A and B are shown apart, each in its own frame.
Chain A
Amino acid sequence: MEENKTKKVSRMEFLKNLGRGALLLFLGITGGAALARVKKKPAVWQIDPAKCIQCGRCATECVLRVSAVKCVHNFSLCGYCNLCFGFFQAGQRELTSGGENQLCPTGAIKRKFVEYPYYEYTIIEKLCVGCGKCVKGCTAFGNGSLQLQVMHDRCKNCNECLIAKACAGKAFVRIPAEKAYITKEGRES
């Protein structure tokens, strides 16, 4: 008994145990990672409209030549305003679709008469560069129905999204790909 207690472990045996331990640890890590991968759902980048401050970096920081971020219109929140501050330049001459009255520098918003005094505003996606100018006007003066979103038909889903790194409002978040867009529904302005 006493002999057993004082028995020293040989170097060979120590190295053997170490190797065995490392192998088991590696097996465990591989198994755990595999399990996590099976359980984890794919994620995508998206802008949380509640945090977005329309800093303008979505338009300049994206790796794509024309940003993957676009303005989208949440019609359920829209007031269908005659004098939409997301569409009209502040201090506009008249309430018409004339270029000099429009806020959007690329003319990416279409204004359509519904019934007096209501108008519908639609984003022409291919013209939108994601600068957020209209979003700022609508958020400040209206209901905030215009919002910026990452469009996943063109987003490269980079691991290190450059817009997310530069985002002044820390509004870029990872969300499950199955629910790839965030709306403001239920929120008041």
Chain B
Amino acid sequence: MDRKIIFKNGIWILLVAAGLVGGYFMASSYIPGNTAVNEVKSDGAGNPALPENFKYDMAKLKQYDPRQLLYGEETKIKTGLKEPFGLTVNKKDGRVLVVSTEGMLVCDGAIAGKVAALPVRLEGPGSVSFGFAGELLLAGRDRVNIVSGTIIGFGKKGKGVGEFKYITSVKANAKYIFTADAGNRRVCKFDLKGKYLGQIGRKDKAAGKNFVIPSPHMDMDFDSKGNLWVANAGLLQLEKYSPEGVFVSSWGKHGINIDEFIGCCNPVNFVIDGGDNFITAEKGVLRIKKYDKTGKFLGVVAPPGTFNEKNTSIPLAVDSKNRVYALDTIEKTVRVFSEKGY
């Protein structure tokens, strides 16, 4: 066939193909829907703004008296981790550990360190702390690992004995390991080798206190006498348990004032410093506050507006100098606050 004819027909075919493709994409990007909305009288754009009682005034809830500010920010450590979730301080050597599922940052006090590999693989976020003898307790969502010379792991996903749904805190004293499981709304007690010993928090009130945990926030810490304190966030209280796990007392009240816990479920995190003072972190209105050992409000560590508003928890730690370390999980930084800095 004549080359010219082939060329000519080729152009026609190309034109049809171009039309097909163009038509397809034009029709694909067209948003289908009704065009006739004229039957409805438009109250659309240009309407007056909502009356004040239709607006949520968060600014009012963030107010505080600057004279109540006890701490100042000393430094900010960039973690370099993608999704950090755990923070702890080894009070013996001053090492600060920030943990994510892909690695951990080891800092020498407030001086930033390097990211290292985790000694064990973690499935989902959990918690981290140092045990009584300096062993590392590393928890994923449903498994706890005791890392010293060797690694002992225990736990699996479930509701049964020794099983976990959502670990939010793991702490150990000289005799026991305690785990706070927000998913199962209970605190479990294990020996130092991971053998299950019992639990705190059941619906049967005779068997122990009932934890009200509406969201995945349930923190714990020990005071200087070895008592275990647990944040019963749904009741907006901190509860004291004996070293054996028997309920002793509680403190905390709800409200919008600075000395109260705001929202449905706070404090989301807390830590006890060397003087048995409580450092608490709240969500909703993100703020860190300080209470004495009886629950009396002392002042503000970090006022509202300090942290990225997208944070839903602020993991806390204190060192031997009572400096407060707070993890901003959105900005991926550790904020260090000290009384001296103010």
Contacts and interface: CB of A to CB of B under 8 A. Distances in A.
Interface of A: 20-21, 24-37, 40, 42-45, 54, 56, 59-65, 78-85, 90-91, 103, 105, 117, 129, 131, 133, 136-137, 140-143, 156-159, 162, 165-166, 174, 188-189
A64 to B, nearest CB: 6
Contacts of A35: 20, 23-24, 27
B26 A33 contact: yes
B56 A133 contact: yes
Contact of A131 (B20, B54, B254): B54
Contacts of A43: 31-33
User: Counting chain A CB atoms within 10 Å of each CB, which of B17, B213, B214, B216 scores highest?
Assistant: B214
B250 interface: no
Interface string B298-331: 0000000000000010000000000000000000
Nearest to A80: B214
Contact of A81 (B12, B31, B234): B234
Contact of B34 (A40, A60, A142, A159): A159
Contact of B40 (A26, A42, A45, A63): A63
A82 B54 CA distance: 23
A42 B16 CA distance: 27
A43 B256 CA distance: 44
Interface string B1-34: 0000000000110011111111111111001111
Given A65-B41, A141-B263, A189-B312, 12 more contacts: A25-B19, A31-B19, A33-B24, A40-B28, A60-B47, A79-B264, A85-B284, A105-B54, A140-B263, A156-B40, A158-B37, A188-B215
Contacts of B24: 32-33, 35-36
7 contacts: A27-B16, A28-B17, A31-B16, A36-B23, A37-B27, A65-B41, A84-B264
Contact of B19 (A26, A40, A65, A188): A26
A82 B27 contact: no
* Those 3 A-B pairs whose CB atoms lie nearest each other, nearest first: A28-B19, A79-B214, A32-B23
A117 B234 contact: yes
A62 B44 contact: yes
A25 B262 contact: no
Contacts of A56: 49-50, 54-55
Contacts of A174: 31
A81 B214 contact: yes
B204 interface: no
B35 interface: yes
B158 interface: no
Contacts of B285: 140
Contact of B264 (A21, A65, A136, A141): A141
Nearest to B266: A141
Contacts of B61: 90
B249 interface: no
Interface string B106-129: 000000000000000000000000
Contacts of B262: 90, 141
Contacts of B235: 117
Given A35-B20, A83-B254, A90-B61, A189 B37 contact: no
A60 B50 contact: yes
B40 A24 contact: no
A11 B283 CA distance: 78
B133 interface: no
A156 B263 contact: no
A83 B50 contact: no
Given A133-B54, A156-B40, A159-B33, A32 B20 contact: yes
A143 B50 contact: no
Contacts of A32: 19-27
User: Counting chain B CB atoms within 10 Å of each CB, which of A43, A44, A90, A188 scores highest?
Assistant: A90
Interface in B247-266: 254-256, 262-265
Contacts of B16: 24-25, 27-28, 31
Contact of A159 (B12, B28, B35, B214): B35
